[in-house]
Every structure is written in structure tokens, then in C-alpha cells.
Amino acid sequence: MLSYPPLLRKLLENRGIKTAEEAEKFLQPDYEWDIHDPFLLPDMDKAVRRILEAIEKKEKIVIYSDYDADGIPGGVVLHDFFQKIGHDNFANYIPHRHLEGFGLNDEAIEKFKEDKVSLIITVDCGVADVAEVAKAKKQGIDVIITDHHEPGKKLPTCIAVIDAKREDSKYPFKDLCGAGVAYKLVQGILKKKDFGLKEGAEKWFLDMVGIATLSDMVPLVGENRALAFYGLKVLRKSPRVGLMKLLSLLKINQKDITEDDIGFSISPRINAASRMGNPEDAFKLFVANTDEEADICARHLDHINNERKGTVAGIVKEVRKIMKERYGNPLGVPQDKGALDMQKKVIVIGNPEWKPSLLGLVANSLVDDHHRPVFLWGRDGGNILKGSCRGDGCVSVLDLMSEMEEGIFEEFGGHSMSGGFSVVQEKAYLLEEKLQLAYEKVILKGVIIKEEVVADAKITFDEANSENYRLIEKLSPFGVGNSKPLFLFEKATIENVKMFGKEANHLELTFKNSHGKNIKAVGFFTKATDFGSELKTGNKINLLANFEKSTFRGFTELRLRIVDVEIML
């Protein structure tokens, strides 16, 4: 480790990497070493045998994928694979988020029966669909499940259930995303049969696996780190015309694409397709064959994403109005007796007019505003209300829902920071009271998850330079399990404060290093008043920030990204 520069050594040590061997393995992902044998996954051999039989007999196969930024790219991986090997008797099916919901459904299976489908391969769904798989079997349709969600007590009875999270799984890595599991299936098939493809031809599918891995918030360690690392390499060279059109439209230079471009620009547009209408709109972008088709798809996705942003902003505004009317001070500081209700530790608001698929995004904004768990509900139709919840980093929303009185929720699921639920309309009025009681139960059990934010290192503005950025870059891609390094700049004097962007809703602070060079720090969707009192020129602050490179509109710039500010009195 002594051969590494001190800053890089410290950053590695903060990630639990103590030896030179561990450091080399982390800094230089190796495809042959880090990507495991697909046949270590449960049921892989059964799945491969059945698919090879279907290919040989030219059976009709349906690739049934989820409608999000994991399932859609995963569906594209299998689509491209079957095309490449010349098996044309297949179709991709993506359920409509609002009309069909998550996973396999009976109506789709009936349609497959009419279309003489003999094999369904799921991507990013299916492990919980015991009844639906049984229906398919009854209709004479075989099912192969590829999924990464936690299995229930009973697995579906079918040809194969490929899921590293199965209790009997001996696969060395448990946290692949859905598209990652689909990619393992392709690897398995190619390992058993030579279709005349060039060796390593499947690696071109890693552009989709990279997008999915970076979109689905899976830990970027182990095999996922390698898939994301090589996924970005392929993305920078990908000949996929739809991808190129979208990047051009977004002013992203393909050869410089980063995990941030995926997280902030590409994933939202994939997800906008299902949130606002038809998920196939995103799928069509990635399988487009002509410039004209790709251009239409890219512009349509961008348009509906802008619509999505407008609709979310409208709901956020409406919710804030409700908050002010209900609790008084929208920041949650009681101003009178009527505002004391804000002492409630869980925010619960709903409206039958709201689209459930957008409420997770709205809940994120409310958590930022009020620093407490948020539960929002809406309705797509019928008597069942659907909602999304987001955690504040202190209490798990999954724990809250698990502590709820039995019979309130029709269904619920998720993890500590986010989840979903459904409730019949007649019980919606009980949610607020029951969730407050659940909160108290969780607190009494001492189940607190909040972690103190700790800087990786204390540095000066002189050290925020290109040489150190190149060291930091070696640790990328960043995400869950490998956070961007966080730096503390102490007693920094603000030289200038300004708002920028079309709507002047982004904050820029300017500082100077010891050589008089300007150093910028930006906070997107951040105001100068977001840190207790208004930031002004001349203020001395302690600044927590990430160090990043922006290539927006082709202009390369090193800058800081604001995480938190402490104003010194």
C-alpha cells in the first residue's frame, strides 16, 4: 500500500482495503477474474438445456421483463442475443405499470397461450409469482425465471428459478441486478453451444448491463463493480444508434459517459416511459435499427420525461400547500398550537387524483424538506389505493410497514429507504394514525439506522486539483457500497454566491485557493437558505463536498459538489 499516494491510500483504507493485493483487485477490475461461472447459479443448467431445446425446435419464446431501468435493459440483452444467434421466433413483453402491475399476470399468460408461446423467460421479476407460473404450466407454457429479488417461502414450480438469493444458492455473489442475471443466462448458453459468434461477442451486451447495474441501486462491489466498470467501457464505444441519439440530445459526450450521466439523465428517461405511459417506448429506443426511428424514440423519451418532471413538480407544490394548511409552518417548526401536529414523525398524505407511479419522486422531495419518513398514496382506478414511501435515513420504512396493525395494508414491500404499499380506500384514513403508532414501536425497539456522515479526508482548495482528481477517478464507478469520496474544507471564505440554471434553482459558491484561482462548488436544486441561514459573500463555512468533473455541453471543468455546509459564527 505504501506505493500508492497518501490520498489514494487513505481513500482505499476508508473502504476497508488494507493490502496492496486488495487495492490492485479493486482498482483494476478483471473480467476473467471477477465475473463468476454462470453455472454456479441455481438451475442454470436446467434453463440452458430448455432454451437450447427451444432454439433447436424453433419454439416461440417470450422475454417477459420488468418495466424499469433494470428490467428493460435486461430484456434488451436477451432480445439482442436471440437476434444475434438467428432465433427469430421470440417476442419481448413488458407489462404496463398502471394496467398490469409488477410481475407475471394471468391476462398476459392467456394472450401467450393464444399466440402459441411455449416458453417464457422472465427478467427482473417472477420469483414471487407462484400462482401465475402455475397457470402458465396449466396452459402448457414452460417458464424460466431470472430474478434478483428475495424469494418467498415457496418458489414457483417451473423449469428453472435462477436467483442468487435463493437459500440453496452457492453463487459467490448475491447482489446482481435483474439484467445482470439475464446476462449470466446468456453466458451460460454460450458456454454450452457455439453459435458461430466471435469469442466474447456477448460483452457488447454489457452496455445494457452497465445501465441496469448503475440504475438499480445494487452494491457496486465484487461482480457488480466489474459489470459496471466494463459496462461503462462498452457504453463509451457502443454502436447502439438509439443510445447515441439520446446522448446527443442530452449533450452528453459518449466517450466521456459516467455513472452520473446514467443516474441523472438516462435512467430517469427509461423510467419515465412506464411512469407516464408505455414502457415499450424505452425498449424501442435501445433496439432501434435506423437513425430516423432512434431519433423519434429519443425525442419522445425526452418529451415524456419533461412531462413527468412537470407533473411531479405540480404534485410537490400541491403537497406543500396541504402541509402548510395542515401543519402551519412548511419547514416543520411549530408556530402555534395548530402546528404542533408537525411533531408527528411520519408524513402521510394522499389524493385519488395522483398517479402512484410518480409518488416516490414526490416523497423524495418531502423527505429533503422535512427529514422524516413520507408515505404518499394515489389511485390508478378501482377501490385499491397505491402508494410509495421514502425513509429519512433514521427509521426503516419497511420496519414501519411491518409494525402496522394487520389488515391495514393489502400489500407492502421494499427496503429501509423506500417501499410501496396498497390499501383499500375505506382504510386510507387510518394510515396516518397507525403509522405514527408503528413509528413509536420501532423507536422503542431501538431500530435506528442513521449513520453519521463522516468525511473521507480533510483537504484544502489547493488540493482540489487535476492530479488528485485522477486519483479519485481510479475508485469509480461510484454508487451504493462505493460512495463518492467526501471531503471537508474547513474555514472556507465564500467569495461569491449565485443561483444558476433556466429557473435559477441551482446554487453556486465560489472560493479561492492560495494562488488566487477560483474554485466552484455547486448544489443542484439547492438554495442559499437551505443550511440554517442564508449563505452570503464573506461567510466563513465548513464545506462537505465531493470532487467531480463536468463535461456538460462539451466543456470540461473540475468542481466541487456541495453535500453540506456549516456556517461558522
Q: What class is the 457-567 domain?
A: mainly beta
Q: Is 258 helix (H, G, I), strand (E, B) or coil?
A: coil
Question: Whose CA is closest to 301, among 280, 282, 274, 284?
Answer: 282
Q: What is the mean pLDDT of residues 431-451?
A: 81
Write out pLDDT tens, residues 515-530. 999 999 999 988 898 8
Reported confidence tier of residue 448, pLDDT bands at 50, 70, 90: low
The CATH code for residues 236-330 is 3.90.1640.30
pTM score:
0.90
* CA 185 to mean position of chain CA atoms: 22
C-alpha to C-alpha distance for 278 and 95, rounded to whole angstroms: 9
- Amino acid identity at 262: I
Strand 487-493, strand 540-550: pairing: antiparallel
Q: Is 24 helix (H, G, I), strand (E, B) or coil?
A: helix
C-alpha to C-alpha distance for 237 and 213, rounded to whole angstroms: 18
560 in Cβ contact with 546 (< 8 Å): yes
Question: Whose CA is closest to 283, among 550, 561, 12, 66?
Answer: 66
547 in Cβ contact with 533 (< 8 Å): no
Residue with cell 486539483: 465
* CA 430 to mean position of chain CA atoms: 31
Write out pLDDT tens, residues 54-78. 999 999 999 999 999 999 999 999 9
Reported confidence tier of residue 453, pLDDT bands at 50, 70, 90: low
Q: Is 344 helix (H, G, I), strand (E, B) or coil?
A: coil
C-alpha to C-alpha distance for 303 and 93, rounded to whole angstroms: 23
C-alpha to C-alpha distance for 23 and 10, rounded to whole angstroms: 11
- The three cell numbers of residue 56 are 433447436
* CA 362 to mean position of chain CA atoms: 16
Strand 384-390, strand 61-65: pairing: unpaired
- Amino acid identity at 529: T
Query: Which pLDDT does position 531 carry in this prediction?
Result: 87
Question: 344-444 architecture in CATH?
Answer: Roll (3.10)
Is the pLDDT assigned to residue 330 strictly greater than 50?
no
**Would the CATH topology of 236-330 be identical to that of 344-444?**
no
In degrees, rounded to 5, the angle at the alpha carbon of residue 260 between the alpha carbons of residues 259 and 266 is 85
CATH 3.90.1640.30 assigned to 35-234: yes
| Domain segments of the chain as ranges | 1-28, 35-234, 236-330, 344-444, 457-567
- Phi, psi angles (nearest 5°) of residue 178: -60, -45
Question: Whose CA is closest to 180, among 162, 157, 195, 198?
Answer: 162
Query: Which pLDDT does position 337 carry in this prediction?
Result: 36
Reported confidence tier of residue 332, pLDDT bands at 50, 70, 90: very low
Q: Please list, in sequence order, all residues whose beta carbon lies within 8 angstroms of the beta carbon of residue 296, skipping any fewer than 6 positions away.
A: none
Query: Which pLDDT does position 452 carry in this prediction?
Result: 61
Instruction: Kindly state the helix (H) or strand (E) to which residue 36 belongs, with its residue range.
Output: none
Residue with cell 409518488: 359
Strand 61-65, strand 119-123: pairing: parallel
Reported confidence tier of residue 340, pLDDT bands at 50, 70, 90: very low
